[in-house]
C-alpha cells in the first residue's frame, strides 16, 4: 500500500478552542497528505463528531472550555479504545503527562511544536494502527475495556473498603472522607460543609489543602463557603452532584466537583473538591468516584446513626434497669460502675481491641442485671446465705443472659455475662467451664468483679484492704482466675500506688 493511498483513507479529528492553532494544524496535515480532516472547537463538539463517525486519530488540546482534553480522551476511550489520541498542551508537567497516559493517550505534544514533528507522530501512529488486523483491534478493545473496568472496580472497591473501616466518631469520618476525596480525584482543596436546611445556611466543617498548609486556612475555608454559597444551594436543591470546569465558575477554583451527603433523601452536608487550576480539569470518572464516596458515606453514617439510636435507647433501658436494682440494693449500681472501670483498664493493659473494650464496657455495666429477679429477702439479707438462697443467687448470670436475649445487638455481651462467675479450675457457675473455655472477657470481668466485691463493705463482712485483696487474687492464680489477667490487674494496681 502506498503511503499516499493509506493517508487518503485515514480521517483525523483536530480539537482546539483556538481557531488559529486548529486551522494551522488542519492545514499542515492536509499538506502532509491527509485530506480527510475534521475540526472541533471543544470537547463536546468533538465527541458529537466522533459519535457520528469514528475517526482514525484524534489530536486534542488539553485546556478547553466545556470539556477538557482529558475528559474527551477518557470518553473517546470508552467509545473506541483503539483510537489513538494525541494530547497537546502549552503547559507540560509530569503530572499532566502521567495522567493523560493513564487515561490512554498515545502521545504528547508540547506547544509550540514543529509541523514535521506532528506529521511524524501522526504517520507513526496511523501506520502502527494500520498493521493491526481486525482481530488485533478487537482483542485490544476487549483488553482496554476489561482493564478499564478493573481499574474502576478496584478504585471503587478501595473507596468502599476505606469507608467501611471508619468506626470513629463523625468528625473523624468527615476528615477521612475529605482526604479520600482528595486522593481519588487528585484535587487540590476539599471543603466539607454542613447544611442547615431550616435556615438555608452552610457551615464549614472541614477545609483541607492537599500537601500544603495555608497560614490562614480557616479564613480561606470561610471565604470559599461564601463564594460558593449560591452553587451549594443549587446542589442541595437538586440533591445531585455537579461538575464544573473553570470557565463555568469564573475560574475561581479551577475545576470543581460538589456532591451532597444525604440521609433518607435529606441533604445534611456537601463535599466539594477543586483542582489546582483549569488545566487539571476533573473528568466524569472523578465525578463518579465522588458519587461513590458520598453514596457510601451516606449509607455508612445512616447505619451508624440507626445503630447508635437503637443501641442508645437499649442501653438507656438497661441502665435504668441497673438503676432500679439500685433502688433496692445500693451496692449493685456502684459496684457495676466500679467493675466497669477496673475491667476496661485491665483489658486495655492486655491490648484488647476497641471492639472488645466496648463489649466489656456493656457487659460489665450489666453483669449483675439478673439480680433484678432475686427476691429482696435473699438479695438484701444481712446474715450468711443458706444453701438454697445461694443457689437462687447463682441463677443471676443465666437470668441476666435471658433478660438480654431479645436484643440481638448484644449477643457477644450476653455470653460474657453468662460466664462471669466461672472459675479457671472449672468449679464456678453456671456451666462449670474451665481454663480457656471461659470467654476471655468473662475472665477479665471475673477478676474485676471479685476485687471490687472484696474491697467493699458488705452487710455480712467488712471490706478487705487493697493489699489483702491482691493477695487473694494472687493465691487464686490459675485456681479461680486466669493468671495472666491477675498479673495484668496487679500491675495496674501497683502502678496506682507507685510500686
- The residues binding Fe ion (CB under 5 A) are 368
CB of 425 to Fe ion, least distance (A): 18
Nearer to Fe ion, 170 or 455 (CB): 455
Which of 161, 147, 99 is closest to 292 using CA atoms? 161
Collapsing DSSP to helix, strand or coil, 204 comes out as strand
Sheet with 107-110, side-by-side order of all strands = 36-40, 11-15, 57-61, 85-89, 107-110
Angle at which helices 134-164 and 284-328 cross, to 10°: 30
* Minimum distance, C-beta of residue 358 to Fe ion, in the bound complex (Å): 20
| Residue number, 333 or 368, with CB nearest to Fe ion | 368
Are 271 and 180 within 8 A, CB to CB?
A: no
Which of 74, 32, 39 shows the shortest CA–CA distance to 55?
A: 39
CA distance 96 to 118: 19
Kindly report the number of other CB atoms within 10 A of residue 312's CB atom.
11
Length of the chain: 499
Contact 318, 369 (CB under 8 A): yes
CA–CA distances in Å: residue 245 to residues 49, 159, 161, 254, 471 = 21, 24, 29, 7, 73
Q: Which of 442, 444, 423 is nearest to 434 (CA)?
A: 423
- Of the pair 195, 429, the CB lying nearest Fe ion is at 429
Q: Residue 396 Cβ, how far from Fe ion at the closest point, in Å?
A: 6
C-beta closer to Fe ion: residue 105 or 445: 445
Least distance between Fe ion and beta carbon 161 (Å): 41
364 in Cβ contact with 336 (< 8 Å): yes
| 242/416 with CB nearer Fe ion | 416
Query: With respect to Fe ion, which residue has the nearer C-beta, 296 or 367?
Result: 367
Q: Which residue has the closest beta carbon to Fe ion?
A: 368
Query: Cβ 448 to Fe ion, closest distance in Å?
Result: 11
Tell me how far, at minimum, the Cβ of 367 lies from Fe ion, in Å: 6
Residue 253 contacts residue 183 (beta carbons within 8 Å): no
Tell me how far, at minimum, the Cβ of 356 lies from Fe ion, in Å: 20
In whole angstroms, the minimum distance from the beta carbon of 339 to Fe ion comes to 9
Q: Rounded to the nearest whole angstrom, what is the least distance from the CB of residue 453 to Fe ion in the complex?
A: 8
How near is the Cβ of 370 to Fe ion at its closest, in Å? 8
| Cα–Cα distance, 393 to 370 (Å, whole number) | 9
* Nearer to Fe ion (CB atom), residue 300 or residue 423: 423
In terms of CB distance, is 293 or 374 closer to Fe ion? Answer: 374
Burial tier of 453 (Cβ tally within 10 Å: 0-12, 13-18, 19+): middle
How many C-alpha atoms does 13 have within 13 Å on its Cβ side? Answer: 29
Residue 497 Cβ, how far from Fe ion at the closest point, in Å? 27
294 and 302 Cβ atoms separated by less than 8 Å: no
Nearer to Fe ion, 298 or 450 (CB): 450
> Cβ closer to Fe ion: 233 or 381?
381
> In the complex with Fe ion, which residue's Cβ is closer, 368 or 482?
368
Q: Is 265 helix (H, G, I), strand (E, B) or coil?
A: coil
Q: Rounded distance, CA 303 to CA 283, Å?
A: 30
Helices 411-418 and 440-454: crossing angle, nearest 10°? 50
What CA–CA distances, in Å, run from 73 to 50, 190, 276, 406, 422? Answer: 11, 25, 20, 57, 68
Is residue 61 within 8 A of residue 18, CB to CB? The reply is yes
Find the shortest distance in angstroms from Cβ 191 to Fe ion: 52
CB of 237 to Fe ion, least distance (A): 57
Classify 417 as helix, strand or coil.
Answer: helix
Closer by beta carbon to Fe ion, 329 or else 368: 368
3-state SS, residue 11: strand
Q: Which is nearer to Fe ion, 368 or 401 (CB)?
A: 368
Amino acid at each position: 500500500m502506498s503511503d499516499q493511498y493509506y493517508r487518503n483513507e485515514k480521517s483525523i479529528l483536530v480539537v482546539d478552542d483556538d481557531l488559529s492553532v486548529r486551522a494551522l494544524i488542519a492545514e499542515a496535515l492536509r499538506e502532509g497528505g491527509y485530506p480527510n480532516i475534521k475540526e472541533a472547537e471543544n470537547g463536546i463538539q468533538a465527541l458529537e463528531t466522533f459519535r457520528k463517525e469514528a475517526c482514525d486519530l484524534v489530536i486534542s488540546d488539553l485546556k478547553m472550555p466545556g470539556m477538557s482534553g482529558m475528559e474527551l480522551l477518557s470518553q473517546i476511550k470508552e467509545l473506541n479504545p483503539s483510537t489513538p489520541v494525541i494530547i497537546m498542551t502549552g503547559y507540560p508537567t509530569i503530572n499532566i503527562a502521567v495522567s493523560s497516559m493513564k487515561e490512554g493517550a498515545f502521545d504528547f505534544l508540547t506547544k509550540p511544536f514543529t509541523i514535521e514533528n506532528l506529521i511524524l507522530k501522526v504517520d507513526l501512529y496511523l501506520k502502527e494502527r494500520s498493521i493491526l488486523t481486525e482481530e488485533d483491534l478487537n482483542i485490544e478493545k476487549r483488553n482496554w475495556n476489561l482493564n478499564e473496568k478493573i481499574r474502576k472496580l478496584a478504585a471503587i472497591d478501595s473507596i468502599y473498603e476505606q469507608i467501611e473501616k471508619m468506626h470513629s466518631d463523625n468528625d473523624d469520618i468527615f476528615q477521612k472522607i475529605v482526604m479520600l476525596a482528595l486522593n481519588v480525584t487528585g484535587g487540590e482543596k476539599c471543603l466539607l460543609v454542613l447544611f442547615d436546611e431550616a435556615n438555608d445556611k452552610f457551615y464549614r466543617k472541614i477545609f483541607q489543602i492537599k500537601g500544603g498548609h495555608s497560614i490562614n486556612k480557616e479564613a480561606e475555608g470561610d471565604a470559599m463557603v461564601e463564594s460558593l454559597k449560591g452553587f451549594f444551594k443549587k446542589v442541595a436543591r437538586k440533591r445531585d452532584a455537579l461538575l464544573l470546569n473553570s470557565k463555568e465558575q469564573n475560574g475561581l477554583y479551577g475545576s470543581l466537583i460538589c456532591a451532597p451527603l444525604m440521609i433518607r433523601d435529606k441533604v445534611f452536608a456537601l463535599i466539594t473538591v477543586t483542582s489546582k487550576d483549569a488545566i487539571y480539569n476533573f473528568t466524569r470518572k472523578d465525578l463518579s468516584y465522588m458519587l461513590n464516596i458520598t453514596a457510601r458515606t451516606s449509607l455508612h453514617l445512616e447505619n451508624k446513626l440507626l445503630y447508635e439510636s437503637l443501641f442508645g435507647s437499649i442501653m438507656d433501658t438497661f441502665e435504668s434497669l441497673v438503676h432500679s436494682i439500685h433502688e433496692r440494693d445500693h451496692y449493685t449500681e456502684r459496684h457495676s460502675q466500679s467493675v466497669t472501670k477496673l475491667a476496661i483498664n485491665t483489658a486495655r493493659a492486655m491490648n484488647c481491641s476497641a471492639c472488645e473494650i466496648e463489649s466489656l464496657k456493656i457487659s460489665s455495666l450489666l453483669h449483675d442485671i439478673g439480680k433484678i429477679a432475686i427476691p429482696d429477702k435473699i438479695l438484701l439479707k444481712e446474715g450468711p446465705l443458706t444453701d438454697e438462697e445461694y443457689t437462687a443467687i447463682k441463677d443471676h448470670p443465666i437470668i441476666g443472659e435471658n433478660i438480654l436475649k431479645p436484643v440481638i445487638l448484644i449477643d457477644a455481651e450476653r455470653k460474657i455475662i453468662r460466664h462471669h462467675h466461672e472459675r479457671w479450675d472449672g468449679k464456678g457457675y453456671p456451666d462449670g467451664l474451665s481454663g480457656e473455655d471461659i470467654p476471655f472477657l468473662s475472665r477479665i470481668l471475673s477478676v474485676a468483679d471479685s476485687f471490687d466485691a472484696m474491697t467493699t463493705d458488705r452487710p455480712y463482712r467488712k471490706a478487705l484492704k487493697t493489699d489483702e485483696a491482691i493477695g487473694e487474687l494472687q493465691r487464686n492464680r490459675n485456681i479461680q482466675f486466669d493468671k495472666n489477667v491477675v498479673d495484668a490487674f496487679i500491675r495496674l494496681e501497683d502502678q496506682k500506688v507507685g510500686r
